[in-house]
Amino acid sequence: MLYLLALIGVVTVLVLLWKAFGPVTKAPVNGRVTGPDDDPEFLWRVNRDVHRKHTDGDTPTDSES
């Protein structure tokens, strides 16, 4: 029984040390993840493609070929 408690204690200490000194994961710069529908460049490209389809008629774009 004493060995089991010692093992649990060692595992607990190892987990705490891993959390304290283990590899660091980088958080996003602005604090949140930006999805493609929130990305201004993506929205600009979508708007540009929609505008091209409306002005050019049914001509295929580069992504449709």
What does the domain layout of the chain look like in residue ranges?
Answer: 1-57
13-43 pLDDT, tens digit each: 999 999 988 887 766 566 666 676 777 888 8
Average pLDDT, the chain: 81
| Residue 56 confidence (pLDDT) | 78
Full DSSP string of 3-40: HHHHHHHHHHHHHHHHHHHSPPPPPPTTSSPPPGGG-H
| Residue 23 confidence (pLDDT) | 83
Tell me: pLDDT of 3 over 90.
yes
Residue (of 30, 26, 27) closest to 39 by Cα position: 30
CA distances from 46 to 20, 42, 43, 62 (A): 44, 6, 5, 13
pTM given for the model: 0.39
| Residue 34 confidence (pLDDT) | 65
